[in-house]
């Protein structure tokens, strides 16, 4: 079955001490590509950033310019802090909203490391974040933030890797099972998919906007068209699709899209993740 995947492919930050540096060190530990922008001269509050961190220098020494560029270059920004955001962390939030990028704020006075990592992993999955920007206080503002952020991002990577491994195992097990008879109705098709999809896939689909469902047409839709015998003339299922669509005829492509939409409607009620910032 076609899988719906979401995994971090690159971690970026501004290179500052504290939260920024912790995210880069986790990337180095797991051999995940890293980068980001840093002010001219590679300046941080403790001096020049070591060259083992592969960040690009901005043409100016402005921290604000660097912060905005990292937001622009990323798919989403994760801000980890304690209490109300101030200074550079709050500016990061404002830039993320300005550029309409995905944003998740974690307040460590309200959530522990374990739950913070689980929430961040679910957000990355849901929003399909591949290039992650991490921000938060510098070490002089919060001496414990480096350790906190390192543990959280480390656990995020472990959660995502474990989910990917389990997803692959489930995929292989499904492939080995004896083929089932194709469903005859849209409801049967949705029931089948509810039983086959992993929790990760369910939450991913549930949290999509309806307009985004078209992105599943060439992968998930192809699985439905092949597995449910739409291409082979499953007239019972096509007739059921016509009834739902209130039309006399629907194509195989239209039928698979309709089944995905009906699945999405059901998942919206049971698996939609609601993030509290």
CA distance 57 to 40: 5
Instruction: Identify the residue whose tokens are 């109300």.
Output: 84
Pick from 135, 165, 195: which residue ends a domain? Answer: 165
DSSP state of 60: S
3-state secondary structure of 107: strand
CATH number of the CATH domain containing 128: 3.40.50.450
Residues listed for the chain = 277
Report the run of H or E that residue 190 belongs to, with start and end. helix 186-196
Pick from 165, 196, 220: which residue ends a domain? Answer: 165
Same domain, 95 and 228: no
Same domain, 212 and 257: yes
**In the chain, how many domains are there?**
2
Give the number of C-alpha atoms closer than 13 A to the C-alpha of residue 171, restricted to the C-beta side.
14
pLDDT grade for 277, boundaries at 50, 70 and 90: very low
pLDDT in tens, 224-268: 999 899 988 899 999 999 999 999 999 999 999 999 999 999 998
8 Å CB contact between 139 and 8: no
Same domain, 43 and 151: yes
Tokens, residue 136: 């938060």
8 Å CB contact between 149 and 19: yes
- Residue 86 is assigned to a structural domain of this protein: yes
pLDDT for 175 beyond 80: no
8 Å CB contact between 271 and 206: yes
Same domain, 17 and 144: yes
Same domain, 48 and 113: yes
Same domain, 149 and 34: yes
Same domain, 14 and 109: yes
Residue 87 gets the label, from left (phi > 0), alpha (psi -120 to 50) or beta, of left
Per-residue CA distances from 86 to 23, 265, 273 (Å): 19, 39, 28
Which of 184 and 277 is assigned the larger pLDDT?
184
pLDDT grade for 272, boundaries at 50, 70 and 90: low
- Residue 264 is assigned to a structural domain of this protein: yes
8 Å CB contact between 74 and 133: yes
Same domain, 258 and 123: no
Lowest mean pLDDT among 129-133, 172-176, 193-197, 262-266: 172-176
- What percentage of residues in the chain have a pLDDT greater than 90? 71
pTM for the model stands at 0.65
- Residue 5 is assigned to a structural domain of this protein: no
Pick from 137, 165, 193: which residue ends a domain? Answer: 165
Q: CA-based diameter of the chain, in Å?
A: 71
- Residue 276 is assigned to a structural domain of this protein: no
3-state secondary structure of 110: coil
Same domain, 17 and 154: yes
Same domain, 36 and 154: yes
Mean pLDDT comparison of 22-26, 123-127, 128-132, highest-scoring range: 22-26
DSSP state of 29: H
Same domain, 138 and 231: no
Same domain, 113 and 206: no
Q: Show the domain range for 23.
A: 10-165
Mean pLDDT comparison of 14-23, 161-170, 209-218, highest-scoring range: 14-23
- Residue 95 is assigned to a structural domain of this protein: yes
Number of H helices, E strands in the chain: 10, 9
> In terms of C-beta density within 10 A (0-12 exposed, 13-18 middle, 19 or more buried), how is residue 6 classed?
buried
End-to-end CA distance of the chain: 34
């Amino acid at each position: 079955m076609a899988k719906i995947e979401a995994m971090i492919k690159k971690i970026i930050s501004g290179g500052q001490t504290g939260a920024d540096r912790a995210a880069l060190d986790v990337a180095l530990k797991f051999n995940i590509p890293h980068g980001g922008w840093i002010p001219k001269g590679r300046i941080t509050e403790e001096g020049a950033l070591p060259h083992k961190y592969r960040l690009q220098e901005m043409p100016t020494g402005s921290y604000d310019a660097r912060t905005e560029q990292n937001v622009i270059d990323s798919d989403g920004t994760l801000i980890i802090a304690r209490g109300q955001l101030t200074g550079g962390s709050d500016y990061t939030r404002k830039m993320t909203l300005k550029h309409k990028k995905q944003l998740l704020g974690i307040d460590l006075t309200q959530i522990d490391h374990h739950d913070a990592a689980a929430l961040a992993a679910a957000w990355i999955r849901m929003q399909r974040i591949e290039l992650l920007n991490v921000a938060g206080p510098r070490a002089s503002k919060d001496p414990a933030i480096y350790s906190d952020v390192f543990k959280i991002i480390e656990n995020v990577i472990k959660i995502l890797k474990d989910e990917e491994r389990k997803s692959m195992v489930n995929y292989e097990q499904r492939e080995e099972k004896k083929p089932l008879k194709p469903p005859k109705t849209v409801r049967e098709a949705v029931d089948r998919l509810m039983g086959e999809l992993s929790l990760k896939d369910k939450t991913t689909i549930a949290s999509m906007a309806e307009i985004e469902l078209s992105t599943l047409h060439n992968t998930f839709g192809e699985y439905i068209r092949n597995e449910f015998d739409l291409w082979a003339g499953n007239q019972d299922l096509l007739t059921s699709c016509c009834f739902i669509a209130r039309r006399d005829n629907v194509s195989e492509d239209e039928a698979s899209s309709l089944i995905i939409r009906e699945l999405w409607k059901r998942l919206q009620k049971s698996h939609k993740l609601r993030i509290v910032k």
